[in-house]
Amino acid sequence: MKRVYRAATLLEVAHARNLLVAAGIDCEIRNQFLAGAVGELPALETWPQVYVEDDDEVRALRTLVQSRQPPSGSAWVCAGCGEELEPQFTHCWRCGREAEGRPA
Ligand SMILES: [Zn+2]
């Protein structure tokens, strides 16, 4: 198995695993419960990590890198409250109004 991802929080690692699973790549999370060992091991080694089969390493890394690219599109202004919102949001976080003319 090859390690393809690690992060300080299980949330980030779980997200990475979800991306891989969605891409059809088998993977497993290690160190889920190792945080208690911090202080005895180098901190990075205690972070939750995602492992994939050796043959899937390149495909997994590619999937993860692609997921980090900034969302396409441009910022938009909510017609309801005037809030400026990042392109990845489909709804205004302030008032809940859906972006007009954008795919949901
Ligand atoms: Zn709004």
Strand order in the sheet with 49-52: 2-6, 49-52, 27-30
- CA 97 to ligand 1 center in whole angstroms: 5
Same-domain check for residues 81 and 57: no
For 26, the domain range is: 2-68
Same-domain check for residues 100 and 59: no
Question: pLDDT digits over 17-39, tens only?
Answer: 999 999 999 999 998 876 555 56
The structural domain count of the chain equals: 2
Same-domain check for residues 11 and 62: yes
* CATH code at position 58: 3.30.70
Same-domain check for residues 60 and 18: yes
Count how many Cα atoms sit within 13 Å of the Cα of residue 16 in the half-sphere of its side chain. 26
Same-domain check for residues 61 and 22: yes
Specify the pLDDT at position 104.
Answer: 43
> What tokens does 61 get?
């890394």
Provide the whole-model pTM: 0.60
Same-domain check for residues 75 and 62: no
- CA 64 to ligand 1 center in whole angstroms: 31
Question: pLDDT digits over 33-72, tens only?
Answer: 765 555 666 777 788 999 999 999 999 999 998 887 666 7
Same-domain check for residues 83 and 63: no
